[in-house]
């Protein structure tokens, strides 16, 4: 697979954008080429600083582009994918790295992929990992017989915690349901819930579900559906092995700013024989309204009366020390760049980016490495109340339980004005609870138990058309 490059702004001397497509599938998918020389011009790119480029993907067996759109002489499918990704801005150069999975179609019929990449460039010379993951999988057949097929569009926003899993789900679901377009923006639980309250999205995602006060503002009613679960880990950037042991007292004091160097005796005593560096500790925390922050601070409040009285719990708190970043993506980027940094991120972000993670002391006094297995042991003791399916695990009792684990919720309205949208959302949720759960463990999330799946399916039936 090759991607042709071209100038992306009128002023090529000052800025350039390079894009890379990484094929993650296991099957050949043909080749990607620009829509130039085919009678189709790329989309207007003059509106700097937003850059848009159009590509055409097709099987190598049938390349006969016509002037009408990106059409071929046989059946085509059009797919639009937009992903906000990492932008690196240094000395006027910009690099956009796009990673997506392109799976081979089951049919030999040619496909036309329209890849629209929109990147908002920053004027500051520093690295960013944009917190937005936007998946727009819009598929429409080029054949006359399918032109009248109903197109359904759904928009959601919220937590970055489950965003990698949602990304996978939307790709997989769209392959089976090409007339359904689902857009999800990873903007944080707080912002997602606010958009949901304002009625500007069809659904939201939150690591802390929704409060009674927030739900009371929604006239159409709200249903909170636990859709997956995962761990929050303490990841660090040190030249020491993975699994550094941290006592409850130590990691609480690190976030309070009481322990400021990695060779502190309180860290060393739990790690005998380990050569800890004489390096300042740099705490990295979230700046946006975050469900991940809420879960983390609820845990710190549960294990430390001092933390509870001085800082407390919430989606946004006044951190005693550290530097801030937006989203799990932003915290991950800072951890990668700063030697001596430590911060809290969802397990999948740490494993995908090969960050070292700490073994945390649990309530039983055991040091537990975060894994899907140790997190699953924590969830075993959680009972979701039948009236709202919302429960938190602030300090689990199990001897082998990892201490910071949470469900993450999909928020839907009880009433939708458009019955087609209501049914489309119910269909997607039902798929996510069955077929979608199969990819949860593969990515590092926790599949829901059969009991929880039945509870969520029952609650989903309350969505009225």
Q: What is the mean pLDDT of residues 423-434?
A: 97
pLDDT for 209-268, tens place per residue?
999 999 999 999 999 999 999 999 999 999 999 999 999 999 999 999 999 999 999 999
Residue 23 belongs to a domain:
no
Could you give the CA distance from residue 333 to residue 347 in angstroms, rounded to a whole number?
A: 14
Residue 216 belongs to a domain:
yes
User: What does the DSSP 8-state code read for residue 434?
Assistant: T
Domain hosting 161: range is 131-465
Residue 357 belongs to a domain:
yes
Q: What pLDDT was estimated at residue 356?
A: 97
Q: What pLDDT was estimated at residue 16?
A: 34
Q: What are phi and psi of 349, to 5 degrees?
A: -65, -35
Could you give the CA distance from residue 300 to residue 322 in angstroms, rounded to a whole number?
A: 16
- Please determine, for residue 33, whether its predicted confidence score (pLDDT) is greater than 70: no
Q: Is the peptide bond before 292 cis (omega within 30 degrees of 0)?
A: no
Q: What is the mean pLDDT of residues 34-62?
A: 31
Residue 109 belongs to a domain:
no
Residue 341 belongs to a domain:
yes
Query: Which CATH number do you get for residue 324?
Result: 3.40.190.10
Could you give the CA distance from residue 380 to residue 375 in angstroms, rounded to a whole number?
A: 9
Angle subtended at Cα 327 by Cα 255 and Cα 224, rounded to the nearest 5 degrees: 100
Q: What percent of the chain has pLDDT over 70?
A: 68
Q: What pLDDT was estimated at residue 465?
A: 61
Could you give the CA distance from residue 357 to residue 444 in angstroms, rounded to a whole number?
A: 14
| Selected residue with higher pLDDT from 458 and 104 | 458
Q: What pLDDT was estimated at residue 149?
A: 54
Could you give the CA distance from residue 11 to residue 7 in angstroms, rounded to a whole number?
A: 9
pLDDT for 359-412, tens place per residue?
999 999 999 999 999 999 999 989 999 999 999 999 999 999 999 999 999 999
pLDDT for 285-323, tens place per residue?
999 999 999 999 999 999 999 999 999 999 999 999 999
The structural domain count of the chain equals 1
Residue 63 belongs to a domain:
no
Q: What is the mean pLDDT of residues 69-77?
A: 31
- The two three-digit tokens of residue 179, written as one number: 């007339």
* Strand-pair partners of 96: 87
Q: What are phi and psi of 299, to 5 degrees?
A: -65, -45
Mean pLDDT (the chain, rounded): 76
pLDDT for 140-188, tens place per residue?
333 333 444 589 999 999 999 999 999 999 999 999 999 999 999 999 9
* Strand-pair partners of 22: 99
Residue 292 belongs to a domain:
yes
pLDDT for 326-366, tens place per residue?
999 999 999 999 999 999 999 999 999 999 999 999 999 99
Which own/partner pairs from 16-20 qualify as long-range (CB within 8 Å, at least 24 positions apart)? 16/93, 16/94, 17/51, 17/94, 17/95, 17/96, 17/119, 18/95, 18/96, 19/53, 19/96, 19/97, 19/98, 19/117, 20/97, 20/98, 20/99
- Please determine, for residue 29, whether its predicted confidence score (pLDDT) is greater than 70: no
List the one residue out of 255, 267, 226 whose CA is nearest residue 382. Answer: 226
Could you give the CA distance from residue 452 to residue 386 in angstroms, rounded to a whole number?
A: 10
- The CA-to-CA distance between both ends of the chain, in Å, stands at 44
Residue 130: other Cβ atoms inside 10 A: 21
Q: Would you say 422 and 465 are in contact if contact means Cβ atoms under 8 Å apart? A: yes
Residue 459 belongs to a domain:
yes
């Amino acid at each position: 697979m090759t991607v042709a490059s071209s100038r992306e702004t009128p002023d090529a001397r000052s800025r350039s954008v390079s894009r890379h497509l990484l094929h993650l599938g296991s099957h050949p998918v043909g080749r990607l080429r620009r829509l130039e020389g085919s009678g189709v011009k790329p989309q207007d790119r003059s509106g700097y600083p937003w850059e848009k480029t159009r590509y055409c993907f097709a099987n190598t067996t049938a390349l006969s582009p016509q002037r009408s759109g990106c059409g071929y002489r046989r059946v085509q499918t059009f797919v639009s994918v937009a992903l906000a990704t990492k932008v690196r801005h240094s000395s006027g150069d910009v690099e956009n790295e796009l990673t997506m999975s392109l799976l081979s179609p089951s049919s030999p019929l040619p496909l036309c992929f329209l890849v629209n990449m929109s990147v908002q460039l920053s004027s500051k010379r520093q690295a960013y990992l944009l917190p937005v993951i936007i998946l727009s999988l819009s598929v429409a057949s080029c054949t006359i017989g399918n032109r009248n097929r109903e197109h359904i569009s759904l928009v959601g926003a919220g937590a970055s915690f489950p965003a990698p899993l949602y990304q996978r789900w939307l790709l997989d679901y769209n392959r089976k349901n090409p007339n359904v377009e689902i857009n999800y923006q990873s903007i944080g639980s707080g912002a997602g819930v606010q958009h949901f309250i304002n009625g500007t999205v069809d659904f939201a995602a939150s690591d802390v579900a929704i409060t009674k006060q927030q739900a009371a503002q929604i006239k159409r009613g709200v249903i909170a559906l636990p859709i997956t679960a995962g761990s929050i880990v303490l990841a660090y950037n040190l030249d020491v092995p993975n699994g550094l042991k941290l006592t409850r007292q130590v990691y609480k004091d690190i976030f309070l700013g009481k322990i400021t160097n990695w060779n502190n005796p309180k860290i060393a005593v739990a790690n005998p024989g380990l050569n800890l560096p004489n390096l300042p500790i740099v705490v990295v925390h979230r700046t946006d309204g975050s469900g991940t922050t809420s879960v983390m601070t609820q845990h710190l409040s549960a294990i430390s009366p001092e933390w509870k009285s001085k800082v407390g719990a919430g989606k946004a708190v006044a951190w005693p020390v550290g530097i801030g970043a937006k989203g799990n993506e932003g915290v991950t980027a800072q951890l990668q760049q700063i030697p001596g940094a430590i911060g809290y991120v969802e397990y999948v972000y740490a494993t995908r980016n090969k960050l070292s993670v700490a073994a945390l002391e649990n309530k039983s006094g055991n040091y537990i490495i975060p894994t899907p297995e140790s997190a699953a042991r924590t969830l075993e003791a959680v009972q979701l109340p039948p009236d709202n399916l919302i429960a938190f695990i602030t300090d689990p009792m199990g001897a082998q339980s990892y201490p910071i684990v949470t469900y993450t919720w999909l928020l839907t309205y009880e009433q939708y004005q458009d019955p087609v949208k209501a049914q489309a959302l119910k269909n997607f949720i039902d798929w996510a609870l069955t077929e979608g759960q199969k990819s949860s463990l593969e990515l590092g999330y926790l599949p829901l138990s059969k009991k929880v799946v039945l509870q969520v399916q029952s609650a989903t039936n309350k969505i009225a058309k």
